[in-house]
């Protein structure tokens, strides 16, 4: 396995784990998540895995960056929602109860339930395409 890819996967899993445990800690205490504020922190943290994943792709730098950003966003969104639901003992595709502090993406998923299937399909397809692209 290529070293940048390995470090990218490790950093992605670490960020996902910290975010899961932090949001669960807030949820257990009945505290709302500040989604706009956390988006900035999330973007800053994700620059490391985005860069590491992008370095393995053989394309022009802006295509590598764009694809890595999209892939990481969709995979993170899919895994975070699913694992957060499982931690709270809900089904993987649970869209949550209606709260005043709901994320806009949660509201969108409740309105259009097909988004869950599309997220899983996109995340899986992007990972497979990435893997096929970086094969020697």
pLDDT of residue 98: 66
CA distances (Å), 11 to each of 43, 59, 128, in order? Answer: 13, 23, 19
pLDDT of residue 25: 95
pLDDT of residue 99: 67
Asked whether 23 and 33 are in contact (CB, 8 A), the reply is: yes
Could you state, in chain order, the average pLDDT of each consecutive group of 10 residues for the chain (136 residues)? 90 96 92 84 94 94 95 95 92 76 79 90 96 88
Residue 119 CA, distance from chain mean position: 10
pLDDT of residue 100: 66
pLDDT of residue 113: 83
Residue 14 structural domain:
3-134
pLDDT of residue 110: 84
For 47-71, the DSSP string reads HHHHHHHHTT--S-HHHHHHHHHHH
Give how many domains the chain has, as a whole number: 1
């Amino acid at each position: 396995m290529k070293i940048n890819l390995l470090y990218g996967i490790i950093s992605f899993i670490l960020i996902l784990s910290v975010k899961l445990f932090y949001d669960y800690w807030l949820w257990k205490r009945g505290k709302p998540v500040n989604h706009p504020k956390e988006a900035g922190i999330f973007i800053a943290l994700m620059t490391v895995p985005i860069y590491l994943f992008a370095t393995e792709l053989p394309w022009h730098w802006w295509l590598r960056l764009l694809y890595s950003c999209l892939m990481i966003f969709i995979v993170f969104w899919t895994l975070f929602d699913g694992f957060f639901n499982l931690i709270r003992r809900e089904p993987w595709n649970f869209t949550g109860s209606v709260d005043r502090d709901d994320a806009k993406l949660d509201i969108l998923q409740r309105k259009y339930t097909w988004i869950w299937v599309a997220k899983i399909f996109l995340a899986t397809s992007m990972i497979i395409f990435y893997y096929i692209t970086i094969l020697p």
